[in-house]
């Protein structure tokens, strides 16, 4: 009995030590990120103003156009191959799944919290679409910086590759689904047209607009046009709903009288819904998908999948090894730069919001506390169905992070581009990123336990 009691006490002590080590391993990386964020906040705070806002804007442009593309190309290009491309298919699919689950939670938030009617779609999209780029890369980088990380050798290289592989899907979602979900309601647009929007804070100037619109996709709001600020879907469907449907006899007569114009006949005979969808598709800015990070992802995938091209860029014996080595040096500046920019964004404080406290709390709870629980279940189910890379903890960790991060900062830029809910997105992103420091710590501890 004495021996058994001693054995149990030793197991308990070892379990306690193991739990303490897991907590330390999970919290320390976030403490490093928090330290970098605090540096950015102190440097950008109004009372010190050591670094002006214009400097943070320039730094965000460097991250967007140089540091992030270099990081994506050097890590993804080295890891990707035709075999890995086929093995990693669940990463982009998981982005879509997490967005769909987030939309369902967003609808529940709308039902429970009842935001203003003009902010219904805004509430859904802010709940559904998370940060799949800069923040996960920063978390992976700091986690892998510890020698005692649970992901083994080549931790950072694999983690950044997995995160980068999801970039192209996230960007496509932004400029298709998110872009149209963030369009201003018809009533809101009509108020702006009538000139009653003078009460809204002007955020169009270079200095007055929030730093968050520059934090992840700099320059996007400068590309805004009058058309981008219009409610495209509502206008198209409302205007075309008033056009009477052509009777079948008229269509047949048109077909008989214009046999030399089959294309015109096809357009006349097309259903109204098809015509509406075609107009919306033509007004979707799909061309903007080709931005530096996306180009770097696609270039890395193409080069990495061709062995001859890959041998030309990657490896110590590669003819252009000095180029990729130089890009790796530049890539090291990405994580600290991103966290400094985030600190500068938080230093601005929350902007005035018409969203309401109850809805802001609902979105934050759904995004940061409830959605990760669904993520754990979905990833566990996918693992049970053998859809994931066998034995790769980092692969699962990146999938779980896609459910755990706060709403994408890029949503603030899209709000500015569409001229809709800019103040609301700024306030919501501020509070979400503030509380994410705690929820990320909590869930990373959980992930380290279950992986």
How far apart CA 119 and CA 229 sit, in angstroms, is 15
Nearest-10 crossing angle of helices 120-128, 422-450: 30
- Alpha carbon distance, N-terminus to C-terminus of the chain: 35
Residue 267's pLDDT is 47
Structure-block tokens of residue 78: 């080295």
Q: How far apart are CA 276 and CA 272, in angstroms?
A: 6
Residue ranges, the chain, pLDDT below 50: 1-17, 189-207, 224-228, 233-237, 240-259, 261-269
Task: State whether CATH 1.20.1530 applies to domain 20-194+205-228+286-450.
Answer: yes
The strand pairing partners of 130, in sequence order, are 407
Q: What phi and psi values does residue 123 have, to the nearest 5 degrees?
A: -60, -45
Residue 196: per-residue pLDDT:
44
Cβ-count burial of 243 within 10 angstroms (0-12 exposed, 13-18 middle, 19+ buried)?
A: exposed
Which pLDDT does position 88 carry in this prediction?
93
Please enumerate in sequence order all residues whose Cβ is within 8 A of that of 333, keeping only pairs 6 or more positions apart, or say none. 62, 67
Report the alpha-carbon distance of residue 48 to residue 186 in Å, rounded. 43
Q: How many angstroms separate the CA atoms of 217 and 223, rounded?
A: 11
Q: Give the burial string for 156-166 (b: 16+ CB within 10 Å, else e).
A: bbbbbbbbbbb
Dihedral (Cα; 221, 338, 77, 394), 10-degree rounding: -120
| Kind plus residue range of the DSSP H or E element containing 394 | helix 393-404
Q: What is the dihedral of CA 400, 406, 409, 410, to 10 degrees?
A: 50
Residues whose CB falls within 8 Å of the CB of residue 249, separated by 6 or more in sequence, listed in order: none
Other CB atoms within a 10 A radius of the CB of residue 376 amount to 17
- Helix 393-404 to helix 134-145 angle, to the nearest 10 degrees? 140
Distance (Å, rounded) from C-alpha 362 to C-alpha 368?
Answer: 10
pLDDT at 20: 66
Contact 76, 304 (CB under 8 A): yes
Q: How far is CA 154 from the centre of its chain?
A: 25
CA distance 189 to 187: 5
Q: What is d(CA 363, CA 360) in angstroms, rounded to the nearest whole number?
A: 5
pLDDT of 46: 78
Read off the pTM: 0.77
Q: What would the pLDDT profile of 346-402 be if each residue is shown by its tens digit? A: 787 777 788 889 999 999 999 999 999 999 999 999 999 999 998 899 999 999 999
Write out the residue limits of the CATH 1.20.1530 domain(s) in the chain: 20-194+205-228+286-450
User: CA triplet 65, 138, 131: central angle to 5 degrees?
Assistant: 75
Look up residue 181 and give its two tokens: 């979900």
Query: What is the model's pLDDT at position 36?
Result: 85
Rg (CA), the chain: 25
* pLDDT reported for residue 55: 83
């Amino acid at each position: 009995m004495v021996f058994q009691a001693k054995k149990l006490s030793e197991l308990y002590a070892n379990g306690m030590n193991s739990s303490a080590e897991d907590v330390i391993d999970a919290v320390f990386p976030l403490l490093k990120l928090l330290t970098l964020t605090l540096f950015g906040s102190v440097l950008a705070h109004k009372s010190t103003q050591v670094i002006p806002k214009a400097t943070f804007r320039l730094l965000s442009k460097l991250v967007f156009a140089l540091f992030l593309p270099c990081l994506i190309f050097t890590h993804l290009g080295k890891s990707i191959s035709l075999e890995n491309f086929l093995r990693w298919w669940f990463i982009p699919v998981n982005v879509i799944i997490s967005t769909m689950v987030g939309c369902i939670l967003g609808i529940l938030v709308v039902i429970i919290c009842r935001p203003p009617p003009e902010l219904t779609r805004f509430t859904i999209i802010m709940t559904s679409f998370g940060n799949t780029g800069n923040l996960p890369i920063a978390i992976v980088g700091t986690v892998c910086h510890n020698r005692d990380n649970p992901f083994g050798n080549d931790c950072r290289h694999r983690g950044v590759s997995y995160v980068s592989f999801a970039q192209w899907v996230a960007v496509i979602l932004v400029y298709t689904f998110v872009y149209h979900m963030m369009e201003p309601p018809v009533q809101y647009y009509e108020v702006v047209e009538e000139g009653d929007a003078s009460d809204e804070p002007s955020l169009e100037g270079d200095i007055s607009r929030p730093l968050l619109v520059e934090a992840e996709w700099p320059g996007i709001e400068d590309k805004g046009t009058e058309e981008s600020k219009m409610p495209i879907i509502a206008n198209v469907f409302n205007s075309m709903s008033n056009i009477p449907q052509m009777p079948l006899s008229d269509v047949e007569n048109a077909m008989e009288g214009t046999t030399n114009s089959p294309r015109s006949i096809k357009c006349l005979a097309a259903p109204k819904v098809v015509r509406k969808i075609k107009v919306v598709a033509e007004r979707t800015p799909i061309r903007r998908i080709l931005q530096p990070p996306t180009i770097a992802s696609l270039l890395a995938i193409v080069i990495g999948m061709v062995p001859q091209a890959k041998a030309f860029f990657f490896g110590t014996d590669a003819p252009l090894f000095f180029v990729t080595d130089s890009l790796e040096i530049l890539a090291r500046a990405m994580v600290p730069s991103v966290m400094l920019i985030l600190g500068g964004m938080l230093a601005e404080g929350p902007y005035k919001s018409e969203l309401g406290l109850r809805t802001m709390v609902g979105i934050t709870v759904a995004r940061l506390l409830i959605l990760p629980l669904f993520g754990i279940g979905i990833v566990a189910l996918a693992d049970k169905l053998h859809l994931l890379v066998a034995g790769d903890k980092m692969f699962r960790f990146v999938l779980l992070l896609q459910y755990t991060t706060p709403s994408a900062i890029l949503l603030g830029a899209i709000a500015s581009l569409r001229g809709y809910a800019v103040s609301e997105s700024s306030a919501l992103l501020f509070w979400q990123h503030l509380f994410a420091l705690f929820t990320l710590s909590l869930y990373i501890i959980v992930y380290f336990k279950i992986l």
